[in-house]
Amino acid sequence: MNVLVLGAGQLARMMALASKPLNINVRAYDVGSERVVDPLSLSVDYGDLAQGILDADAITAEFEHIAHDVLAACEQSGKLFPSSQAIKTGGDRRLEKTLLAQAGVANAKHKIIANKFEFDEAIESLTLPLIMKSALAGYDGKGQWRLKDKSEAEAIWQEIKSFIEGDTSGRPQAIVVEQMVPFDREVSMVGVRSKTGQTLAYPLTENHHSKGVLSVSLAINEHQNLQAQATEAFDKIANALDYVGVLAIEFFQVGDSLLVNEIAPRVHNSGHWTQQGADTCQFENHIRAVCQLPLGSTELVRPTAMINILGTDSVPHSILEIPSVTLHWYGKGKRAGRKMGHINVCGSTRTELISRLTQLSTMLPNADFPDVNEYVSTL
């Protein structure tokens, strides 16, 4: 069986690695070169998109911002999972907000604006502070502005105006203006839905971000009330999209309640811990779903944490002396801020995990992992 992944980055790579034991071959469509390649080597050329679609038994995606003509060609084949509409929804915050309203899932108060009149109106109708996010092309903290005082409004509008005018997506750009949520922490859920409608959810993870980019994810399965809320939201969203595959939802925790921050129609950075912390990792479960194979268990088998490796291509080899530490490199060239790999660490209990995570954090260079040690010390 052959699966074509739209996108040739680290998520396609990890899907390919997880698929090998199932005797499933994964190829990746590189949106830059417009060629189908081996996601593990990137050097083997299997032809263009048309050939890739012809050779594939199933087609999926590793990111949301895919050209609509590419999605249309894949959807026409009847092999694309999840649907093009689901992928587009994850890549356009306007569609995402509409989906959340239709599914009856709580999220932050917001307005959608595209001009100065709507910008001013949003400031008057919502309570400051506000966060403003581009509807298209924003990720890892990019395409975002924060307004804390009305005196800053004109300067921020000028930045937004330039951003909108400079957009090259070929589609109308807009800004989602959200009332900032005074959250206690950020959590996320990765779940999977089969073509027949079966849904399974992994445990909620607690997420720590550094400069808008995920730094650490912690899976310990301690909050059953929140787990139930997140699972209900996952089912509502996945069913509304008639979704097939792995879907991630990021939440704000406010007291004992969850508000959806955003969704990602794909395998997700905050689910990398599943490689060592679950019987069936998110990558294998995504492939199982799109290939219409039985889904695997999403139960937490041991408390696990994931640390992102950002902008560096080396870590001390001594970290591998710590029991249950696993290193995952993506085979990328070093670039500031780039996701180069991740480290998973596990323990048989929460206490053991925190002990190993603390030891690991003290061994990592502070220059490359600036606030990991500080975050771990709060656990």
98/92 Cα distance (integer angstroms):
10
Question: Do residues 303 and 347 lie in contact, with contact meaning Cβ atoms separated by under 8 Å?
Answer: yes
Q: Longest C-alpha distance within the chain, in Å? A: 60
State the pLDDT at residue 72.
Answer: 98
The mean pLDDT value of the chain amounts to 95
Task: Please report, for the chain, the start and end positions of each structural domain, with discontinuous segments joined by +.
Answer: 2-80, 109-179, 185-376
Q: What is the pLDDT of residue 148?
A: 95
Task: With a cut of 50, list the residues of the chain below it in pLDDT.
Answer: none
Residue 82's pLDDT is 98
**Within 80-223, where are the H helices?**
84-90, 93-103, 116-125, 153-165
pLDDT per position as a tens digit, 316-341? 999 999 999 999 999 999 999 999 99
106-118 pLDDT, tens per residue? 999 999 999 999 9
Q: Is 299 helix (H, G, I), strand (E, B) or coil?
A: coil
The neighbouring-strand residues paired with 200 are 192
Domain 185-376 has CATH 3.30.470.20: yes
Work out whether the CA dihedral 228, 253, 129, 174 comes out positive or negative.
negative
Element (H, E) at 226: helix 224-240
Q: What Å distances lie between residue 264 and 88, 194, 260, CA to CA?
A: 10, 17, 11
Please give the CATH topology (third level) of the domain spanning 2-80: Rossmann fold (3.40.50)
Task: State residue 43's pLDDT score.
Answer: 87
pTM as predicted: 0.94
Q: How far apart are CA 71 and CA 105, in angstroms?
A: 27
| CATH architecture classification, 109-179 | 2-Layer Sandwich (3.30)
Give 229's contacts (C-beta < 8 A, 6+ positions apart).
257, 258
Reported as a single tens digit per residue, the pLDDT across 267-311 is 999 999 999 999 999 999 999 999 999 999 999 999 999 999 999
Question: How far apart are the C-alpha atoms of 266 and 244, rounded to whole Å?
Answer: 10
Classify residue 54 by burial, with Cβ atoms within 10 Å: 0-12, 13-18, 19+: exposed
Instruction: Kindly write down the DSSP assignment for every residue of 336-364, as one continuous string.
Output: TT-EEEEEEEE-SSHHHHHHHHHHHHHHS
Instruction: Classify burial at 278, counting beta carbons within 10 Å of its beta carbon; exposed 0-12, middle 13-18, buried 19 or more.
Output: buried
Long-range contacts from 145-151, C-beta under 8 angstroms, 24+ separation? 146/180, 147/123, 150/123
